[in-house]
Amino acid sequence: MALLDNEFFVTVSTETQKRIWPEHQHDVTFAAATGTLKVGYAVAFDSSVGHWKPWTDSAANGVGDIRGIVYPADITLAAANEVQGAIMLTGTVHRDDILSAESDANVDAECRANLRDRGIIVDGLDQVH
């Protein structure tokens, strides 16, 4: 049976959708490391090596500043090589969907203090500085 023009299909999943609305996305190079960065993971640019890395609070060389959010797909890092991955550079994200190895208090503090100036609007914060 042929499909009509007005028959639309969508992907159905039991996984909750992330509340991430990008304005600008960019393919970037991640430094060699291990693990998988899930959609919503906070990332930073390491100026000492010229590649992106997972965000770490209070780190040097820019790694202590959230500069992007992994989106639209997970990024699997490779121990021996750099890998390419897409991130959201500007846009809106809900606080509950920002992932990090850091504590919630550290993520909240970074979101309140710096992300708006970098073009990332964070919904769901209890206060903004």
Predicted confidence (pLDDT) at residue 39 exceeds the cutoff of 60: yes
Q: What is the pLDDT of residue 30?
A: 96
Among 55, 50, 22, CA closest to 37: 55
* Ordered domains of the chain (ranges, CATH): 20-123 (2.40.300.10)
Q: What is the pLDDT of residue 1?
A: 47
Work out the average pLDDT over 5-24. Answer: 72
Its pTM stands at 0.84
